[in-house]
Amino acid sequence: MFLAAIRAGFFYFGLTVVTIVWGIVCLVVCPALPFNVRFMIVNYWSHFVLFWLRICCGISMCFSGACQFPDRPVIIISKHQSQWETFFLQTVFVPIITVLKAEILSIPIFGWALRFLDPIVINRKRKKKALEQIITQGREKLKEGKCILVFPEGTRIPVGENSQLNRGAFLLAKTCNVPILPVVHNAGEFWPPHQFIKNPGVIKVRVGPLIEPQEDLTAMMEQASFWMTQAMHEISEYELQQDSMIVSKCS
């Protein structure tokens, strides 16, 4: 435990220093740069975070199962267990626009720099207005050939728990006739939310089949929820342990 705390301390020290330097550079140079160049700068930072996490905390990743990576704009919906996926997904789907809660942009340096990525910023307390922003701004971003990233659970959900999916991403898909691409991972088992210490290991990521837009919004949401639940059951070490415990008790 002591060694894990030391390693986490090194990780956060490096993350803080690099983020401050990166943020200041972005604030100085990004106003004069086109979007693609700004996104590339952030990608370097995201790659560094994942590299530094592997060096300090022994956390890497692998793709599990037959993953599909479309060559057209899609709406990506991802499980939200950790901070890890906010870095990782930026390095996989390029270019990508993230739906963010407004509070994040108020974080000094880091939040200010994120504004240069043209995120879709919403106020979660004003749900109707937030939905309108996702549809209006999302439509424009998709027309520009960019993917949209939404965490449909709305907040980070602890390992082993499920949450109902919000309908914003699905309504956007239906309105713009763009497919949904579900993504699951078990990052929360290695980088738990609101915990300082990180657990070494390999994060499993699975990218699902495209869910084509349908008139029946509920059917789309149920299809996505079913696939994500099943996929999580297959890749999650926590859920596999729970199954083993149940089998042991039954035996």
How many domains, in total, are found in the chain? Answer: 1
CA–CA distance, 42 with 33 (Å, rounded to integer): 13
Domain CATH code at residue 155: 3.40.1130
pLDDT value at residue 223: 95
Expressed as residue numbers, the domain containing 221 is 2-250
pLDDT digits (tens, 9 = 90+) for 193-246: 889 999 999 999 999 999 999 889 999 999 999 999 999 999 987 655 554 443
Q: Are 44 and 129 in contact (CB under 8 A)?
A: no
Q: Which pLDDT band, with edges at 50, 70 and 90, does 34 fall under?
A: very high
Q: Which two tokens stand for residue 231?
A: 């996929």
* pTM of the shown model: 0.88
Residue 144 DSSP code:
T
Closest CA to 92 of 82, 100, 84: 84
pLDDT at 163 over 90: no
